[in-house]
Structure formats: C-alpha cells, structure tokens
Chain A
Amino acid sequence: MNNCIVAFCCEHSAYPAADLAGKLKLHYPENLRIIRVPCAGRVDLIHILKAFEKGAAAVMVMGCEGGACHHMTGNTRTKERVKYCNLLLREIEADGRLVAMFNLSPNAPHKFVGAVNEITKRIKESGR
C-alpha cells in the first residue's frame, strides 16, 4: 500500500474539517487517504487491521470531540477499539502508536492538519 495513511473520518466532524483545510489551502502529506464514515463508531477493528495488512503506514480514526458526538457514544466506543488495536500492534512488535484516535470539531481545520502531521512524525520515528 505504499505507506499510505488511512484516515476514517466522521462525516459530522473530521470530514468537513478536512474540507475546510482544503478551502484554507493548508497542506498535508499526499499519502493521506480519507474514508468517509457516518460516525467514528462505525469503524471496526477489521477495517483498521485490513489497512495494515494491505501495507498502510498508519491508521487514523477521527471523530467528534469527546462529549460532542452526534451519536452520543460513537467516539468513545471507537477510542476503546483503537486502544485495543494499539495492544494488538504491540503484541506483534509493531509500533502501537501508528493507530490513533483523534477528536476534532468540523470547524477545526488546523487541528486536522496537526493530527496528520503528528501521525506522519510517528511514522518517521518508527522508522518506516
């Protein structure tokens, strides 16, 4: 998968934030692939692991701010799933930090770009 970053973006928060980043002509690495989901809560372990299986460098799950999820608990449930995925990665001696959950609001394009840059930094640190 040529070291892509796969980002599952909630259509209520991260996806419009990414659009706004575009409108503001902010820049982020080209290897980001955004998959739109109706809620971060839809993202299952299999989706994240499949991305790694296919060679993704990192996976981001992006949902609404804690306490402001459109579906009340979607972001917190996925956060737990992402934590579990961290453990799984560590168990196979991969860098667990390469899968991460980010929370942001639809009007936070800078936070979106910041998150992408953060994960890019982690990829570099892990030596991939």
Chain B
Amino acid sequence: MNKESNNVLVVGAGISGIASALELANSGINVYLLEKEAVIGGHSASFCCKATDVCSQCSACVVPDKIKETVSHPQIRLLTNSTIRRLSGELGNFRVTITQKLQYIDQERCIACGLCTEVCPTDPKAIHPSFAEATPFSYVLDEELCLRFKGEKCDLCRKGCPTKAIKFKGESKEQELSVGALIVATGFDVFDARKKGSLGYGRYPNVLTGLDLEQIFTREGCLKLPASGVEPRNIAFIQCVGSRDEDHDYCSHVCCKYAMKLSGLIKYHNPDARVTIFYIDLQTAGKGFAQFYEEYKENIRFVRGVPVEILQTASGELEVRFEDISQGKVCRDTFELVVLSVGISPSKESWDLARTLGINLSDNGFFAERDSMNTNETNIDGIFIAGTCQGPKDIPDSIAHGIAAASKARQVLTESASQRQGNQGRH
C-alpha cells in the first residue's frame, strides 16, 4: 500500500471530526485534521457543564478530554485556519488543495504569554486570546481593530513578541495533500433567531438564545443578565425556535435537553427562580434523560404551545403573549429573561463545500447521506460525512457518528488497498 493512500483528511475539528480523527489515528492511520477557525473543538467546546449535585449527562466535559488527546496525538496533523480549495481524484487517491489563511500569529510559536495584548494601543485590544477554553491556546489578531489595517504603522506587538510569532506580511498558503479518503464534519450553524423578528432577539437585551446562556454560564459561572448584571428570578424558555416550523421540517434533537438541563442548573443556583418552558412536544427520550425529566417536572412550569410575540415593557421586563390552550384564550405573562431554544441549522458554508467536493445536499440543507441506512456515506465513494453536518445530533450522537464514519473510512481504505495490490499482482 503506498503511504498516501493510507491518509485521511477530516474536514472540521468539531467534536465529531475529533472523534473521527482520534479513532482513525488510533487504528494506525495518519490524519490531517482541517479546521477553518484558529481553534479546535467547534461549538461543543463552548458549552458549559450543566451538573447540579449530579452529572446531568450533557457531555460537555467529554470535549476537553478529546481535544487534549487530539492535540497530543502523534498521528494527527492539525491544519487550522484552513479551508478546502479543490478536490480531484478518487477513492484511495484524492488530491486536495487546501488554503491556509495568512496567519498573523504563528500558532506553533505563540506561547500565549500575553505581552502583545499588553502593548496593543487600541481599545478594545486588537490582539487577544481567542477564548479561555481555546485549544490550541493562542492569540488572534482582529483586522477590524488593528491600526495597521487602518493605514498606520503600528509595530508594537510584533516588536514585543518574545518568540517572533507575529508577522504582518505574507500571503495565504496553498498546499496539496494526497489522501485516501475524506471525512466531512463541518458541523452546524445555530439558527439565527433574528429571523423570527417578533421574538425580539437582537432588539431586546434580555432575549437571549440557548447558546448565549451557555456562554454566560461558561464565562461567569452563574446566570447574570448581560445588560444589568443582576440575577434573573423569572425566566422563560421558548422551544422549537428554528426547528419544526414551515422552513425546518426536522426536530433539532438537542433543544429540549439543553433547555431542561439549563433550567435545572438555574434552579440549582437559585432555588427561588421561576422557570417556564413553552413547548410543542417534549423530547425526553434518550439514555439517562427520562429520569431527569421526572425531577424537572416538579420544579419547572411546562406550558404547551409556543409564543409568537414578545414585547418589552417600559420597565424593561418582557411580556410574552401565548395561547393558553387549557383556557382557549391569549394570555400574557412577564419575564425578566426569555431564552430562545434555537435549533441546529445547516452550516452556511456547506453549499460551497458541497460544490467543491461534488457531494449532494439534502433538501433541508444538510449533506445528503447515500441512503437512509448509510448515514455516513455520500454519493461519492471515499467521502464520508459525520456529525451535525448530516443532521441534528447531540454530543454523544455526534461522537458516535464520527466514530462510525472513521470505521467506514478505514474499511474502504483497507479494501481499496488490497484490491489495488490484487491488480498489481495480476499485471
């Protein structure tokens, strides 16, 4: 077997891409792990732990572990800030051209010492750590804030960098890789709640999305309103924002779980808080979840039906108008914080990537599987899909799907190699 046909390119270093890469690397296959951002882990790395006195099975703690293993694995080569430009060839012999954005900060050399941030004259700083949980933990340069990109000749950070990791000149790099198979694991975009204008996201400061809430918990360790810093006592969750509607004929799988787990966390931090969840159907199935629901049922108010309008009152509270089905009339209730449980949407880049790779998209915008029983395979032999780029999944399902893609990729590589050997034998 020639060496290159035994390499696999994993596109996207979210949790399913990482799971694929680790599984392949542990089976003795060399992996290129491509990531468009500077850091790996994707969405899953920004989720908060939702444990109360016991683990609530959100799987957020699995992610740092896997990231650590990935970074230190000798058979995984990380290619951050990179995207696919071109693809040619076929199973066992793909040639992929990838572009690596000009990196102002060389990740291999950046030791995250923070000297550059100290000397940066702008406010807010143009050069800063990407975020605390970020891996690799390195700094990023914000072109919009940096004085150099406004025509000035500031050179402070470059001069101050002790490892000479910063450079301003250069071009984006292109390189060609030879791989036997590809696994596409480009993940999802969170549904843009601004599209549901009547819910007021983006207009009212105290209407947040589930992801915002996760990030508040990660950053602050407890729930505080971003505008005022006070701890809200009356919170509503609205389910199915961007799932199960005219434009999205699928359930996002994760929102009921995270809404209930976050509610549990809020009640744990502040037992006096009132939490209401507006829902269509509660998705409480799944290993280790039904029993949590029994607990939540006691403390959380569940209201069937999804509100269509939120208004901000003069005092800054949020008035939610919803149909009380049991009474058959429109009711109003006010809350200090409304959380929109936004769903999983196909990634914006998937259309471009589908064209570059030649793989099909399904009609709801996710990558199309070959058939309903081969959810890892695409219309092209040797290109596999893993994780939420194929359809909504939670973290355990994404990991499982990633491992399954690795399994398929390994199998076709071995088989195509032995086939080729057979052919050579005959010649």
- Residues of A with Cβ closer than 8 Å to B? 12-13, 16, 20, 23-24, 64-68, 103-111, 113-114
Contact = CB atoms under 8 A, between A and B. Distances in A.
14 contacts: A12-B65, A16-B68, A65-B61, A66-B51, A103-B53, A104-B49, A104-B51, A105-B51, A105-B61, A107-B61, A108-B49, A109-B132, A110-B220, A111-B49
Interface string B341-358: 000000000000000000
A106 B54 contact: no
Contacts of A111: 49, 221
Contact of B218 (A12, A13, A66, A107): A107
A107 B51 contact: no
Contacts of B48: 107-108
Interface string B34-63: 000000000000011101011101001101
Given A23-B137, A65-B54, A107-B49, A16 B64 contact: yes
Given A107-B218, A110-B222, A66 B61 contact: no
A65 B220 CA distance: 19
Per DSSP, chain A at the interface is: loop
Nearest to B217: A110
A67 to B, nearest CB: 4
A107 B54 contact: no
Contacts of A64: 55, 61
Interface of B: 47-49, 51, 53-55, 57, 60-61, 63-65, 68, 129, 132-133, 137, 218, 220-222
Nearest to B221: A110
B65 A106 contact: yes
Contacts of A12: 65
A79 to B, nearest CB: 12
Contact of A114 (B55, B133, B221): B221
Contact of B132 (A23, A65, A104): A23
A66 to B, nearest CB: 4
Contacts of B133: 20, 23, 107
Most chain B CB within 10 A, of A68, A113, A114, is at A68
Nearest to A112: B221
Contacts of B68: 16
Contacts of A16: 64, 68
B159 to A, nearest CB: 24
Given A107-B64, A110-B220, A65 B137 contact: no
B321 to A, nearest CB: 36
Most chain B CB within 10 A, of A106, A107, A111, A114, is at A107
Nearest to B64: A106
A20 B54 CA distance: 22
A105 B60 contact: yes
Given A20-B133, A23-B132, A64-B61, A103 B51 contact: yes
B132 A24 contact: yes
A95 B291 CA distance: 37
A67 B137 contact: no
Most chain A CB within 10 A, of B48, B51, B57, B137, is at B51
A114 B221 CA distance: 9
B65 A68 contact: no
A110 B48 CA distance: 11
Given A107-B61, A107-B133, A66 B53 contact: yes
A109 to B, nearest CB: 7
Contacts of B64: 16, 106-107
B54 A13 contact: no
A91 B65 CA distance: 40
B272 to A, nearest CB: 19
A50 to B, nearest CB: 29
B55 A66 contact: yes
Given A23-B137, A114-B221, A65 B49 contact: yes
B101 to A, nearest CB: 24
Contacts of A114: 221
Nearest to B51: A65
Contacts of B137: 23
Contacts of B53: 66, 103
B65 A105 contact: no
B132 A20 contact: yes
Contact of B54 (A66, A104, A108): A66
Most chain A CB within 10 A, of B64, B220, B222, is at B64
A20 B132 CA distance: 7
Given A12-B65, A23-B132, A108-B49, A68 B55 contact: yes
A105 to B, nearest CB: 4
